[in-house]
Amino acid sequence: MNSVTINKTSFRGLSPFGGTGAIHSRQAINKTYMKSLLKITLITVLILTVSCQREKLSTQSVVDTEPAQQAYTDLDKWIETNITLPYGIAVEYRWDKNTAPKGTYTYPPEVSKVKPVLEAIKYLWLELYSEPSLGGANFWKGKAPLKIYLYGGKNIDGNGQELINSSAVGREFHLYNINNFDPRDKNKVYVLMRIVHHQFARLLGDELYPYDRQAFLNISQKDYRASSNKQLYGFPNDDTALYALQYYPKKRDLNNCNRALPFQYFASLTQCQNAHTQAGIDEECYYCNFTQSTPNHYGFITFQAMLSAENDFAEMISVPLTNLNTQIEIAKNIAKTPVDSTDEEVQRAALSYNNLLKKEAFIADYFNKKVGFSLKRLQLLSLQRLNRFNNR
């Protein structure tokens, strides 16, 4: 019988417990397992990618939750055609809480009031500066971008005080009390244009044609009042009186005095007293010592001018564009008239009058040399347009 020799090592690879054979077997299994896992992962990713591509994406942004853009209306088209394209001025009348100057409380205007306001602004301001004998057709080129914000209510601060003009400066115009505007009311047109001309005068001096601020400041530097509190400095409550160059009869006792004269100009103390006497108004119900209670007494053209050199500069432009020279002369006469015969008062009156004359000369020189045309010519054409607008 033939003998068979068996090599024991030939069985080691079959033993699950034995030596190097077991190690090699486990390594082979692990490699196979990892390859299979990788294939499964790749297939899964591919399926998910295809599924995502087939799914329609939402148009709703997860970041931008602002409301959709407002519809383009006939009013928007009119604004674009008549204001934005020819003059480079954008108009914002829809409500945006982020555009109102801080510290003011207001609301959007009635849509029906927007176009009448803009028509007045266009005729009495934009077209004025484009007159051939003034800035010409190219005056507004290079002055954009400008933006006008319209608000329905008055410009009221946190203390309930109505602010005379917007505190915003630069290339933004903020116009208030739009809902109260009536193009047939001369007083409301007057107030609107006093504000518009004031704000544009600020822009002229601050950015478009800078003036020598220090030289202008030196004229009345000691007399500016750093406050917008109208009551503190005798500001009248009526809008028209606030902007107009006219004496405002003020009742002493509202409980006992029920009558007052309508707005009118008084050239002297005697004229004021006689007018009230003829109207049968008791002297206890009014006072005529207005040289002490008006800005003219301190060398300013209006109450607004008393607040700062910037406001003073703007008022010295805005006032002539909306008032006759005879009205301005009344203010200057008040400035130069002493309240009494004391040396101190006589010196005060002379200084106030001279300060007004200096500021007039400064503005006239500024327009001739910086802006490029005469303020007198601008005033004449402005008043002509204002008269035509009010008598349509």
Token representation of residue 390: 């009010």
Domain assignment of residue 216, yes or no: yes
Report H helices in the chain: 19-54, 74-79, 85-87, 111-121, 127-129, 186-203, 213-220, 239-243, 269-278, 309-318, 325-336, 343-366, 375-390
Range of the domain at 196: 74-247+288-390
Domain assignment of residue 179, yes or no: yes
SS3 readout for 97-131:
CCCCCCCEECCCCCHHHHHHHHHHHHHHHHHHHCC
pLDDT digits (tens, 9 = 90+) for 74-91: 999 999 999 999 999 999
pLDDT digits (tens, 9 = 90+) for 150-160: 999 887 766 56
Domain assignment of residue 20, yes or no: no
Cβ neighbours, 10 Å, residue 1? 3
Domain assignment of residue 165, yes or no: yes
Which pLDDT score is estimated for 12?
41
Domain assignment of residue 153, yes or no: yes
Token representation of residue 26: 């486990």
Which pLDDT score is estimated for 283?
74
Cβ neighbours, 10 Å, residue 57? 7
The answer to whether 266 and 275 are in contact (CB under 8 A) is yes
Domain assignment of residue 80, yes or no: yes
Structural domain tally of the chain? 1
pLDDT digits (tens, 9 = 90+) for 93-130: 997 765 666 656 678 999 999 999 999 999 999 999 99
Q: What is the Cα–Cα distance from 286 to 273, expressed in whole angstroms?
A: 9
Domain assignment of residue 39, yes or no: no
pLDDT digits (tens, 9 = 90+) for 242-290: 555 544 444 444 456 677 776 555 656 677 788 888 988 877 776 565 4
Indicate the length of the chain as a whole number.
392
pLDDT digits (tens, 9 = 90+) for 46-77: 555 545 454 444 444 433 444 456 789 999 99
Domain harbouring 326, CATH code: 3.40.390.70
Q: What is the Cα–Cα distance from 342 to 247, expressed in whole angstroms?
A: 24
Closest CA to 294 of 236, 229, 252: 236
Look at 259 and 233; give whichever has higher pLDDT.
259
Domain assignment of residue 52, yes or no: no
Which pLDDT score is estimated for 30?
54
Q: How far is CA 255 from CA 51, 186, 260, 284, in A?
A: 82, 30, 13, 12
* Bridge pairing between strands 104-105 and 156-157: antiparallel
